[in-house]
Amino acid sequence: VLSPEWKALVATRLDIFEDSFRERIPRSQADQSRVAASPRAGLIYQPIPWLSLYTNAGTSFRPNIGPDAAAVSPGKPLKPETGQGYEIGAKAELFGGNLLLTAAAFRVDRQNVLTPDPNNSGFSLAAGAVRSQGFELTAQGQLSPELKILAGYVYADAVVTKDNVLPVGAPLINVPRHSGSLLAVYEVQGGDWKGFGIGGGVRGVGERPGDAAGSGFVLPAYIAADALAYYRYENLRFGLNIENIFNTVYYESSLNVFRVYPGSPRRITGSFTVRF
């Protein structure tokens, strides 16, 4: 804490990673050992109690592993993915903290991102560099003792910025420009039905590139609806979740035009929880 209005954060993360991959047919071997530090820093300015302005920057590290990496470059594992991220935004707590609004703009630059190889179906390669930038809006709050909501929207422009195979400026595979969700939950606060809650929501994803070659193949946009119900009694909780209520047919991701993965059909899940 620098002052009542200013706060700062400085931290780092240390990753120590070892991986050994063997494949009998075709015969190949790839070993890697990595040590990486990922520092980050942030600054918050709070001019008035209910409003915070913030900015942060940081780096990331993730090894590229798996049979695809070894098959494309036998004995030479792909370099790890690294990145630099920047964010600036504002948070507002309204109505005594019952409603939290957040708006943020971001930019993330990543190197050696694993992506499907357009010239070798079923295999992967590490793109030279990609950039994702855009903004995010979220709202969550307790509108009344019984009703709470959670909503969000993300606009992301993700493109290849450097590569020996993929065209520079090509949109990044499986990344939609527009996505968002809305969830509302109502819980009875008194009487015989106290502790009973019911809710529902929708999630939407815009169309996105379906292959890495820039062929124009796209996965269509979709909207799916979900529902939930639960009952809480003292330290017990019984729950029921229904995903994709209307059994909407949609496609979650793809490697290319010949390999497309469908989204989950209607799924019903029950749960029972005891808290001590």
Count Cβ atoms below 10 Å from residue 83 Cβ, excluding itself. 20
Six-digit token pair at 261? 């993965």
Contacts 24+ apart (CB under 8 A), 68-72: 68/114, 68/122, 68/123, 68/124, 69/21, 69/30, 69/114, 69/124, 69/126, 70/21, 70/23, 70/28, 70/29, 70/30, 71/23, 71/26, 71/28, 71/123, 72/117, 72/120, 72/123, 72/124, 72/125
Residue 33, pLDDT score: 82
Give residue limits of the domains in the chain: 1-83, 95-274
pLDDT digits (tens), the chain, 276 positions: 889 999 999 999 998 888 777 766 666 666 778 888 999 999 999 999 999 999 999 999 988 775 555 455 555 677 788 999 999 999 999 998 899 999 999 999 999 877 666 666 666 777 678 999 999 999 999 999 999 999 999 999 999 888 767 778 888 889 999 999 999 999 999 898 999 999 999 999 999 999 877 778 999 999 999 999 999 988 999 999 999 999 999 999 998 888 899 999 999 999 999 988
40: β partners: 11, 58
If DSSP codes are grouped into helix, strand and coil, which group holds residue 96?
Answer: coil
What does the pLDDT read at residue 68?
Answer: 56
Determine which helix (DSSP H) or strand (DSSP E) holds 261, and give its type and residue range.
Answer: strand 259-262
- pLDDT given at position 63: 84
Can you give the pTM of this predicted structure? 0.82
Instruction: Tell me yes or no: is domain 95-274 CATH 3.40.640.10.
Output: no
